[in-house]
Chain A
Amino acid sequence: MFGFKRKPQRNRSEFETLTLEHMDALYGAALRLTRSPKDAEDLVQDTFLKAFRFFDSFEKGTNIKAWLFKIQTNTFINKYRRKVKEREVADTPAEDVVLDRFVSSEQVRALQDPEGDFFGKLLSDEVVEALDQVPVDFRMVVILADIQGFSYKEIAEIVGCPVGTVMSRLFRGRRILQKHLYEYAIQEGIISPEVDEAGDAIDLDSYRERRKKTA
């Protein structure tokens, strides 16, 4: 027979003191991630239980909020993402547009119009509705960066991918979100579309490569 050493007694009150204050933030992120209040509640509950079970592995003095978000994100990926993806395939249009210009000349013109303070006038609900249409892999990093204010490095750690992947997902996720809102504005007649010229391909890597050589 074989056995294992019992874990040291975990301190529940210490756990609660450290973690419960982050419940609102975790729930807010879970709601935008799952887009379902019921799933969000389940996800947050799973996250706290899991965090408590792994509490011994939390290194005191490190960022507990990022640690909790890492657990929540992992739990989401393992348990809910498939469900959410299926729902998204069913009810959102395919994101097949190549977003090759970060801000089109058309947008610059339309949005510089003094009458067109469109993004400033947007309601929170309208922005949230547009965010919910962003595919989940991109939405996840937008939530972590723009709602929770995590750094690229923290997001990479939370999501478990390289910083470069975080940058490109964030870039693309934001462009999709801006595009949805821009199209919403046109649809609502708030701004009028103009014909745009084709844009050049974006190229961060080659810039940094060249910079390194000349440095």
Chain B
Amino acid sequence: MECREVERLADLSLDGEVSAGEQAELEAHLMRCAECRARTTTLRWMHDSIRAKLQDSVDGLEPPAGLKDRICTELRVEGGAAPGTAWRAALPLSMALAVVAILSWSRSHAPSLDPEETVDRHTQNMMPEVRARGGEQEVQRYIQKQLGHPVELPQPDDRNLRLVGARVSHLDNADAVHLLYDHRGARISVFANPKRGNMAMPASFSRRLVEGRPYLVGSHRGYNVVATERDDVVYRFVSDVDGAELVRIAASVQP
């Protein structure tokens, strides 16, 4: 063993994460080499002191009074959710909208349509965790595995709209399914998550009626955002395609 190899191994040795052979070789080197011995002694001493102080800092540290009560109250609300309040998976949509998450949800936060969070999820450009290669079955299986619920995906009727894949995301304090679509080469994100009351509309958004249904329409950081609700599920569409076109696409998923 060479001196320059000692340091990483010494660190691992502090955590007991070296093999017996490595430990023996390390010790043999330290017997011979005074300089490495001094270094590792100093390292161990710094490490032990710092670790002890860090542990002191949390020793006896208690969460603020009230946190435990708040959590227990929320758990009671969650645990006692009546069947009717659970996510409805029956979605009369004519498009491959995955039904989401179902894990019931917290009603303590006011729902909001935060365009920043929505656009952020779109622009992170996360890879789909499952790709709709041969069809929608793989997406279905993935969503069921992730969320613990079987989900049936209706077929889209807009032929230009192609389901690329899906991943589980998080929006407005709830799990959401993030479906990635391709529309003539443009990327469209569709997020679906449980509705938890009336959404607060951002000041810069406007309400538009298409065939009698309301859509919240706006743009944020150069992306167009359209939000709509169906049967206790909120759908958000984010893309850089033209706003009117995005509303048309959103409207095409009506039953």
Contacts and interface: CB of A to CB of B under 8 A. Distances in A.
B71 interface: yes
A204 B1 CA distance: 10
Contacts of B150: 2, 4-5
Nearest to A31: B61
B222 interface: no
Interface in A170-204: 170-171, 174, 177-178, 181, 200-204
Contact of A202 (B8, B47, B120, B148): B8
Contacts of B55: 146-147
The listed residue with most B CB atoms (<10 A of its CB), out of A4, A127, A178, is A4
B79 A111 contact: no
A49 B54 contact: no
B76 interface: yes
A63 interface: no
Interface residues of B, number: 67
A183 to B, nearest CB: 13
B72 A16 contact: yes
A112 interface: yes
A102 B11 contact: yes
B65 to A, nearest CB: 11
A88 B12 CA distance: 28
A32 B11 CA distance: 22
B212 interface: no
Q: Determine the main DSSP class of B at the interface with A.
A: helix
B103 A45 contact: no
A124 B42 contact: no
Interface residues of A, number: 73
Contacts of B56: 124
Contacts of B43: 102-103
B76 A45 contact: no
Contacts of B173: 46
B42 A111 contact: yes
Given A16-B75, A37-B64, A44-B67, A174 B2 contact: no
Nearest to A123: B53
A67 interface: no
A26 B243 CA distance: 44
Interface in B128-170: 148-152, 169-170
Interface in B92-115: 92, 99, 102-104, 106
A126 B64 CA distance: 22
A92 to B, nearest CB: 19
Interface of A: 1-7, 10, 12, 15-16, 20, 23-25, 27-29, 31-32, 37, 41, 44-46, 48-49, 52-54, 56-57, 78-79, 82, 101-103, 107-108, 111-112, 119-120, 122-128, 131, 145-147, 151-152, 167, 170-171, 174, 177-178, 181, 200-204, 206-207, 211, 215
Given A2-B151, A102-B11, A202-B8, 13 more contacts: A2-B89, A12-B78, A27-B62, A52-B79, A78-B170, A103-B46, A111-B46, A112-B38, A120-B45, A124-B54, A128-B53, A146-B55, A207-B8
21 contacts: A2-B90, A2-B91, A2-B151, A12-B75, A12-B76, A12-B79, A23-B67, A28-B57, A49-B71, A56-B148, A101-B7, A102-B7, A103-B7, A108-B42, A111-B46, A146-B55, A174-B11, A178-B50, A200-B3, A203-B4, A211-B25
Q: Please name the 7 residue pairs, one residue from A and one from B, whose CB atoms are nearest each other, closest first.
A: A2-B152, A204-B8, A28-B58, A4-B149, A119-B49, A207-B5, A102-B7
